[in-house]
Amino acid sequence: MTENPYAAGPPTVSPSEERTMGMLAHAIPLVAMVVSAGTLGFVASLILYLIYKDKGPFVRENAANSLNVQITTGIVLLLSLPLMLLLVGFVTFAAAIVVAFVLHLIGALKANRGEWWRPPMTLRLVH
């Protein structure tokens, strides 16, 4: 009788791999966001969260933080669209992308060093 290889649960990863995955959870959405003017960062964060959420607590936290940054950014970008009629929306749109860029950059650097961090000014919708 053979054992079921799926019954063992998800494979454990080393702390080094967790740090790398945590860094990628911020770095990949950062690049996607820059390339797409803020629109594809959410997709990247969501995919990374779904892939990494069971790899370890450090990875899950960083992937959730990345997704929370993107959700908050998306809300601000959507609110900026009607505000563009008053011209202030152009400023809030650009500010949202810059703030998300900085938060992802800080998150990637801190994850690479193995530091736990929660981005400020973001909604905490995903845990």
Report yes or no on 83 lying in a domain.
yes
CA distance 4 to 26: 34
When divided into structural domains, the chain yields a total of: 1
Report yes or no on 60 lying in a domain.
yes
Q: Find the angle CA(83)-CA(45)-CA(68) to the nearest 5 degrees.
A: 60
Mean pLDDT of 70-79: 93
Report yes or no on 71 lying in a domain.
yes
Helix crossing, 15-35 with 57-83: angle to 10°?
A: 10
Report yes or no on 7 lying in a domain.
no
- pLDDT tens across 105-126, in order? 999 999 999 999 999 989 999 9
Domain that holds residue 46: 15-112
- pTM of the predicted model as reported, rounded to 2 decimal places: 0.84
- pLDDT tens across 50-65, in order? 988 888 899 999 999 9
Report yes or no on 2 lying in a domain.
no
